[in-house]
Amino acid sequence: MKDGSAFFSTSIAVFASIVALLAASCGGGSSPKSTTGAPPSSAEHHASSGGDTATPSAVTARPEGHAAVGEGIEPATTPAAILEQLGQVRKTLASAIEAGRLDEVHQHAFDVRDLVVALHERAQGLDAAAAKRLDTISETVKQLAIQLDVAGDAGDLGRTRTHFAAFEAALDGIGAVQGLASTTLAPARPDARTKPQIVSMTGELIDPQCWFTHGGEGEAHIGCATMCARGGQTLMFLEKSSGRTYPLIAVTHGKDPDDEWIPFIGRPVQVQGVLYVHGADHALVVRKVTFKDADRRKS
């Protein structure tokens, strides 16, 4: 009987521990987006993001898993010069991994990828064997850059080192591409990505569904636009002077680009951020939003 009582007591204790663990787990998750409350003033929003700095925190401070959004790398104008750039970026990436700075892996790995892709797409005059070898290397580097990005985001140093070893082996093969260093580059394609720009623009954050279907904008449309954004619709920025619209893109993987900016929907604002252009397409990473006219703010 004593053994049965002890077993029963132990079972109760184990059950209580499991319940406590589940409760802690649920409590530690992210809470749903609030649907009530007045929008903050720009000063309140700024202060909540870590003090009197030039840009708000959740977007401008280095995001988890990534270096802050940078300007990428501009490939040089000759293969020999690109190969020199490649050597420098490889050293920078190796140093970051060796020091455990995995938040820098994303930027450097994709810089390497972009340099290799520039060589692959634009090198002229290679014979068939050299062109095929470069094609294989380029595809391998693109895949491994993604794997490095994922491992770095996860903070997995062991997996990052494993992928980096394969990355380096693929890159070493570039030196064996016959005639690459002495060849020439074709002009960049007209629709190639251009260097990201730091911008400041005046306009309004809008819901694209209502803007494109029936021109919904302004304070009268705040309720509907907010509902759409909370339902998963990605916001756009409408630049008033030009009438151009820019979809918002996230500063990092897994980040909702709307999260910080929903309280600013439908009112005149000044935005600062990074503009990305690919041919005729434009997109905006927003780093800071301030109300253009404080009197228009709802309270």
> pLDDT for 136-182, tens place per residue?
999 999 999 999 999 998 999 999 999 999 999 999 999 888 888 88
Binned at pLDDT 50, 70 and 90, residue 211 comes out as confident
Distance, C-alpha 13 to centroid of its chain: 45
CATH class of the domain whose range is 197-296? mainly beta
CA angle 224, 226, 227 (to 5 degrees): 65
Using alpha carbons only, what angle is made at residue 220 by residues 218 and 221, rounded to the nearest 5 degrees?
A: 70
DSSP code per residue over 21-47? HHHHHHHTSPPPPP--SPPPPHHHHHH
Q: How confident is the model at residue 71 (pLDDT cuts 50, 70, 90)?
A: low
Residue ranges per structural domain of the chain: 79-185, 197-296
CATH classification code of 79-185: 1.20.120
Asked whether this chain's domains 79-185 and 197-296 adopt the same fold, the reply is no
Give bridge partners of residue 245 from the DSSP assignment: 238
For residue 296, how far is the Cα from the chain centroid?
32
CA dist 212 and 222 (Å) reads: 16
3-state SS class at 252: coil
Digit-coded pLDDT (tens) for 108-122: 999 999 999 989 888
Which amino acid would we find at residue 103? D
pLDDT band at 84 (very low <50, low <70, confident <90, very high): very high
- Is the predicted pLDDT of residue 13 greater than 50, yes or no? no
* pTM: predicted TM-score of the whole model, two decimal places: 0.51
